[in-house]
Structure 1
Amino acid sequence: MAATTEEQTYTYVRPSELTFADGRADLMLATSGGRTATGPAPHPVFFDGFLGHPEQAAAALLAVAKVARTRFYMPPGMVAAILRAADPVVTSNVDRLRFESFSACCGVYARYDALPGSLDGTVLDTGTTNVDFNPPMRDALARIGGLEPLHLQVGEDVVVRTLDTEVTEKKVSLPERWLKGFAEVQLASATVTPAFEVAAAEARRFIRSLPSSGSRKPVWVVPAGRGLRITTRPTPDGVSLSGLDRLKPLEPLLRFARSLRAYAAPHDSQGATGVWELELDDARLVLALSPESSRGFSGEGGVLWDLADEQSADDADLISVLLAFEPRIDIQRLAAESGLSEDRVTGALGRLGAAGRVGYDAAEAAYFHRELPYNPERLAAMHPRLRDATALVNAGAVRLDGSAAYVRSGDTEHVVRRTEAGDRCTCPWYAKHKGSRGPCKHVLAADLVRKQQA
């Protein structure tokens, strides 16, 4: 089934541009709509200064932009649509810049973190926006050499330019599943823990040895001495990997690598989300891969638990006022300032993440604040299972009987039972996924009714 789309219009004062003069490169990234610390802005201005390690930075920016233009999985029988790549999202988090993108198939998330040691200049504001990555600018980035200083502007003073300058518009169809993926990936990333780390030499050997295409069934990458090997047997000390080519975006950065870290979600014999982090000089390139190459983050449904919690909605409203585009959200501070418990703050952050308003950095083991530059009402309305569960509750289709719940859906009554391993349902959807892609609508409906009667 084709994903529904909406037309996203990027409005730039002018295209992004990379010029070479006087022995340095000047990169101006045009911005389009977003939010700053003081509210919405049509063309935010975030940074003006030099970006350290210029050749490395250029390769990282190109890698993030390439992921946005790549479809790593094509369903059988599907004709490839000509889909103009969405422009990357950039967030200014006080002391660092984060560039993010999603693949067209929604199974690969990429993020380049330019950390404090790589920024030599002035952070003019904090917030989130889209930046223009046009073909001529990308071609110029590929010509950056190792000795050329790289001056970077994220946004510019549009008051000076707009009086006699035509606005440049780019339109792209954003699939709904692409937008949902941004919400889901932060939740999946928050469940991972460090699995292993290897030195740069082994990172280069391993990544370069991977085929450009291969089996879509999950394999597991496990430590082997100082190196890594692949096994087809599930193992708790490994990281599952489906679609070996999905690690290839790391390859152009291997010459700059300091180490490669991998993070794994709780052990799952069917595969789970893996986060791969290439440590660079004062920077990181991060890839988060969905459990299966044919299974985008958009269908995971993990955010449904947070969205179904009415208390978390009120908590999220309170917590959102206290956020200030921090690079690491301090849960203890938010708990003290809001008067909420740390568990409720964490639940509120999960709900904010479902609307794309926070991300998660596995290296820091912390959330960071960002506001996706897309329609927030659209992001909040993209969860049909929650909508259907609410309809079942409103129709009086849920009957509780001790630890069991009976949910009538159409002509069938499904049984939801509570167990130590979680709620189980007799519906076909649960039989297929067994909770690995979030709760079914019947489990959600039963949970909603239990909370109403608590």
Structure 2
Amino acid sequence: MTDLQYDYQSVSTHTKTNGIHNLVLAHQTEIETVNSIPCFFWGTLTEPYTTAKCWATLAKVVRSSFGPVPPSLRDPIVSAGAERMRFEGFSSCNGVYVRLDMKPEAIDGEFIASGTTNVDFNDPLLNALNAIQKGEKVTLAVGQQEVQVITAKTSASEKKVTLPTRWIKGLTSVQLYLADMDLKLEVSRLQAIQLFQSLPKGTIKGDFFITKRAGKCMFSTLATPDSVRIGGVQRLRLLEGILPIVEKISIYESSDKQTCALVCDFPKMQLLMAFSPDAYRGFSGEGKALENMTQSLPEEWIFGLNKLLKSNEAFDPTMLAIENDIDFGTMDHLTSSLSSIGLLGYDLTERNHFYRQLPFKTERILSLNPRLKNAKKLIDNKDIQIVANTNGHVEAIVKGSGVFHKVTIDAKSQRCTCDWFTAYQGKRGICKHILAVKMIA
């Protein structure tokens, strides 16, 4: 599978003039209209020390790997709009998702444009971030600004970067997991530091659980009704750099108790880190978004919403349906479809979706799902015979490679006799046979 490659026309730079740190984050995107925007934001950081520590944590995540994929340098995605900025990315193995939500009070400046783009986090910039101390002043520009005083002492050069296909697929899946999570535990700064001090050393195999006893959180190898499962517990070390400055950490868990997320609260921002079920499993391979891709979304709807909604704007399906005279059933399908192709993110604290413009073309998302392509191939080849379809109960025979599979779908379950379903029992998304039957039945 080929990753998306493009060139930064310049690199992110850092200079210090009269005691003021100046950061220019170079940007690049696959969308030409967005790429032509010279600057998304220009202003100052009101909490530069906290922001720098969170950016360093984000960079640590995107440069890490906990699976068979070797770590490589990847650049985060930034969404600017609705008076806030969101930086997000994945580990190289795609098993850890990180997002920094900078609230309006965290930034003081002008949003020149709304949109989403990749930004260059290079080594000199990260070294500069690590040197920022409390009380220092930092100006920030996302994208090149015409005021050249910031980069006058720095030579710009072209840099080729890669946006991994695993990231693209991950963005279409991770918010579906987040929307399925509920708050389980809250820990203070002191409790968090004490918890992480007991974090097992080295690479740990097997399940670990966070549980709370007598007001104290601890790790355990035994599950209890109120514990939270952490697959690949060593991945929690990614958060160690921000523990001394965090106000509290909220721990969320999905309904199937497979995935979890930690939301770290600061006065003017939040850092979310979500973990896939295990270190060797990435969000991109779980197939959770497939069921919402069974119906195609007209392109004119996507273009219309891109004009109607700003990046980071709260997505309220009820109000959108009322204001634009859209049937509620249609809006439910629209919400599922937008979420499944990555155009909606999810805010755990606010318990709502937000709109996200993407730095790549939406047709790329559908092309990166082999099960979806194989399901469409089964339909095109007329390899599906519907045996029964009454009162929500569907039975079908699907032709495989030298064998026929039986698919059964009803209101409570969906089953297939293929090896994929036998191995995963639906825990990694539906198989291509069930997907194809749902698309035509």
TM above 0.5? yes
For the structure 1 residues 124 and 87, does the alpha-carbon distance in structure 2 shift closer, same or farther, using more than 3 Å as the test? same
User: Which residue of 16, 19, 25 maps to 1:23?
Assistant: 19
Q: What letter matches 2:21 in structure 1?
A: A
SS in 2 for 1:168: coil
Amino acid at match of 2:180: T
Aligned to 2:231: 242
CA shift in 2, pair 1:420/1:130, >3 Å: same
Please give the secondary structure, in 1, of the residue aligned with 2:291: helix
Indicate whether 1:423 and 2:414 are aligned. Answer: yes
Instruction: Report the equivalent of 1:52.
Output: 46
Q: Which residue of 1 aligns with 2:203?
A: 214
2:108 pairs, out of 112, 120, 136, with 120
* Alignment match of 1:351 (pick from 333, 337, 346): 337
Alignment-derived partner of residue 68 in structure 2: 74
**Alpha-carbon distance in 2 for matches of 1:357, 1:244:** 30
User: Does residue 89 of the first structure (1) align with residue 77 of the second (2)?
Assistant: yes
- Aligned 8 A contact 1:316 1:351 in 2: no
Q: Taking structure 1 as reference, are residues 45 and 173 closer, same or farther at Cα in structure 2, changes over 3 Å only?
A: closer
Partner residue of 1:408?
A: 399
Alpha-carbon distance between aligned partners in 1 of 2:112 and 2:307, rounded to the nearest angstrom: 21
Secondary structure (helix, strand or coil) at the match of 1:177 reads helix
Native 8 Å contact 1:319 1:334 kept in 2: no
Match among 210, 224, 240 for residue 213 of structure 2: 224
Alpha-carbon contact 2:211-2:219 (below 8 Å) kept: yes
Distance in 1, Cα, partners of 2:425 & 2:189:
39
SS at match of 1:356: coil
Counterpart for residue 273 of structure 2: 287
Q: Displacement of 1:434 after TM fit?
A: 0.7
The alpha carbon displacement at 1:136 in A equals 0.8
Distance in 1 of aligned mates of 2:42 and 2:65? 33
Q: Distance in 2 between matches of 1:224 and 1:339?
A: 51
Do the aligned residues in 2 keep the contact of 1:425 with 1:443 (CA within 8 Å)? yes
**Which residues in structure 2 correspond to 1:43-442 (within 5 Å)?**
43-74=37-68, 80=70, 84-158=72-146, 168-268=157-257, 272-310=258-296, 319-402=305-388, 403=393, 404-442=395-433
Distance 1:318 1:30, change over 3 A: closer
Q: Identity over aligned residues, as a percent?
A: 33
Question: How far apart in 2 are the matches of 1:262 and 1:309?
Answer: 34
Q: 1:49 to 1:167 in 2, by over 3 A?
A: closer
Structure 1 residues 97 and 192 mapped into 2: Cα distance closer, same or farther (>3 Å)?
same
Contact 1:34 1:373 (C-alpha < 8 Å) held by counterparts: yes
Q: How much does 1:279 deviate?
A: 0.5
- In 1, the alpha carbon distance for the partners of 2:293 and 2:20 equals 49
- Which secondary structure does the structure 1 equivalent of 2:371 belong to? helix
Distance 1:434 1:194 in 2: 26
Structure 2 spans left out of the alignment, 5+ residues: none
Q: The residue matched to 1:336 in structure 2 has which SS?
A: helix
Q: Number of aligned pairs?
A: 433
Preserved contact between residue 221 and residue 229 of structure 1 (Cα < 8 Å): yes
Q: What's the RMSD between the two structures over aligned residues?
A: 2.5
Distance 1:7 1:357, change over 3 A: same
**Residue of structure 2 equivalent to 1:446:** 437
**TM-score, length of structure 1 as denominator length:** 0.88
5+ long unaligned stretches in structure 1: none
Contact residue 84 and residue 173 of structure 1 kept, 8 A: no
Separation in 1, partners of 2:49, 2:307:
39
Distance 1:311 1:377 in 2: 11
Deviation at 1:222, TM superposition (A): 2.4
Shift of 1:210: 1.5
Q: 1:234 to 1:446 in 2, by over 3 A?
A: farther
Would the aligned equivalents of 1:32 and 1:130 in 2 still touch at CA under 8 Å?
yes
Q: CA deviation at 1:232?
A: 3.0
Give me the whole-angstrom Cα distance separating, in 2, the residues matched to 1:224 and 1:120.
42
1:98–1:50 Cα change, 3 Å: same
Alignment of 1:2-41 (within 5 A): 4-12=1-9, 14-33=10-29, 39-41=33-35
Deviation at 1:10, TM superposition (A): 3.2
Q: Deviations over 1:382-403 (max 9, x none)?
A: 1111111111122222222233
Equivalent AA in structure 1 for residue 65 of structure 2: R
Distance 1:264 1:422 in 2: 23
Q: Is the 8 A contact 2:72 2:92 kept in 1?
A: no
| Structure 2 CA distance for aligned equivalents of residues 254 and 153 of structure 1 | 27
CA distance in structure 2 between the partners assigned to 1:324 and 1:43 by the alignment: 15
Secondary structure of the equivalent of 1:371?
A: coil
CA contact (8 A) 1:219 1:232 kept: yes
Q: 1:238 to 1:348 in 2, by over 3 A?
A: farther
Aligned mates of 2:2, 2:428 — CA distance in 1: 22
Does the 8 Å CA contact 2:209/2:219 hold for their aligned counterparts?
yes
The structural deviation recorded for 1:230 is: 2.5
Partner SS for 2:158: strand
Q: CA deviation at 1:444?
A: 0.8
Separation (CA, whole Å) in 1 of partners of 2:245 and 2:46: 13
1 CA distance for matches of 2:427 and 2:288? 9
Structure 1 residue 208: deviation in Å?
3.5
Please report the TM-score for the alignment, with normalisation by the length of structure 2.
Answer: 0.90
Q: CA deviation at 1:430?
A: 0.4
SS of 1:446's partner is helix
In 2, are the aligned partners of 1:34 and 1:371 still within 8 Å (CA)?
no
- CA distance in structure 2 between the aligned counterparts of 1:103 and 1:376, rounded to whole angstroms: 22
